[in-house]
A = this chain, B = another copy of it.
Amino acid sequence: MKPRALALLHYPVLDRRGDLVASAVTNLDLHDLARNAVTFGWDRFYVVTPIEEQRRLAERIRDHWCRGFGADYNPHRKKALELIEILPDLETAIGDWEKHSGETVVPVLTGASVRGGISCEQCLEMNHRQPLLLLFGTGWGLAPSLYQHGWPALEPIRGKGAYNHLPVRSAAAIIMDRLSGSARCP
């Protein structure tokens, strides 16, 4: 398997009215996705926001746990948050991931409203051939503009009924588990 990274985008994403917005960084998103990433052996976690103050906030959170008081208080958290890279836009994240992995990167989109989309198996097959960069949207999901690059999108998580409003924290945990190839239920 080639290396794996995820990116949590705070822009371009939609709000509840379907308007294009830059969403606010959520402390627990950083912790939860970083802990998922280190658990499942992912290599990098990009936190992407164009707003400088929000990047500074994310840096303060990361640095508290990686260098500050938190690093001694909870070394497990340090190990997770060390995977975080905070960047202003997706292009920079793709560039960084291509530089790090030494290969061309084709991002894979995720979202509750994806129609069709590739299966986990297909995503794993892709990841056998090339590094993975999985994109998660905050707010009400990744903006339509991101779907115009021709990048593949992962089929949504289907529950029991029509309800499709999982938190990004839950969706990311489930997808990373599904892509881990662990022993599964029937």
As for how many copies of this chain the complex holds, the number is 2
Q: Chain A, 162-186, contact with B by CB distance < 8 Å: what is the 0/1 string?
A: 0111110111011001111111111
Q: Which residue of B lies closest to A42 (CB)?
A: B160
A interface bracket (residues with beta carbon within 8 Å of B) = 35 or more
Contact B170 A181 (CB under 8 A): no
Asked whether any CB of chain B lies closer than 8 Å to the CB of A92, the reply is: no
Contact B185 A181 (CB under 8 A): yes
Cβ of A164: which chain B residues have Cβ within 8 Å of it?
Answer: 39
Min CB–CB distance A132 → chain B (angstroms): 13
Cβ of A80: which chain B residues have Cβ within 8 Å of it?
Answer: 163, 165
14 contacts between A and B (CB under 8 A): A32-B167, A35-B166, A39-B157, A39-B164, A39-B165, A39-B166, A40-B160, A79-B163, A121-B186, A157-B182, A169-B169, A174-B177, A177-B177, A181-B186
